[in-house]
């Protein structure tokens, strides 16, 4: 199964960064503070599309000063792309099966609706 990485420019194959960590939704982002200093990429799992804790975690990571790549992974739908970007995620990682149900055009439509991203608000 190939994972598909979605950004504002559409679908691309996922290539992991040299150092990646998958966070637990049960742990406070602050508990990873020291580890994050040495990590290039953070994956935030979404077990269901109804669980928004991952968005809160992405926002908290950015407030902690994390500047690496943040990726929402799992059971997300295209309508949530805009919220993921505005929360601080750089993109979304889905499976081929998910992409078959929600083609690239659906995600790109949401990408066009991203008025501002977390980083543009912070670094403006």
pLDDT tens digits, 57-67: 999 999 999 99
How far, in Å, CA of 124 to CA of 122, rounded?
6
pLDDT band per the 50, 70, 90 thresholds, residue 115: low
- In the chain, the number of structural domains is 1
Q: Which residue has the higher pLDDT, 86 or 117?
A: 86
pLDDT in tens, 94-106: 999 999 999 999 9
Domain around 95: 3-122
Q: What is the mean pLDDT of residues 36-62?
A: 93
Which of 63, 31, 27 is CA-nearest to residue 45?
A: 27
Q: How many CA atoms lie within 13 A of 120 on its CB side?
A: 7
CATH number of the domain enclosing 18: 3.20.20.70
Paired tokens of 69: 């790549």
Mean residue pLDDT of the chain comes to: 89
């Amino acid at each position: 199964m190939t994972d598909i990485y979605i950004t504002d420019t559409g679908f691309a194959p996922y290539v992991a960064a040299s150092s990646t960590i998958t966070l637990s939704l049960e742990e406070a982002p602050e508990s990873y503070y020291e580890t994050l200093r040495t990590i290039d990429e953070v994956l935030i799992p979404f077990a269901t599309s109804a669980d928004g804790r991952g968005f809160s975690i992405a926002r908290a990571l950015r407030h902690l000063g994390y500047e690496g790549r943040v990726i929402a992974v799992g059971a997300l739908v295209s309508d949530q792309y805009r919220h993921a970007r505005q929360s601080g995620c750089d993109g979304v990682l889905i499976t081929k099966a998910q992409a078959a149900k929600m083609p690239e055009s659906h995600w790109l439509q949401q990408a066009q609706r991203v008025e501002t991203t977390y980083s543009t608000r912070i670094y403006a």
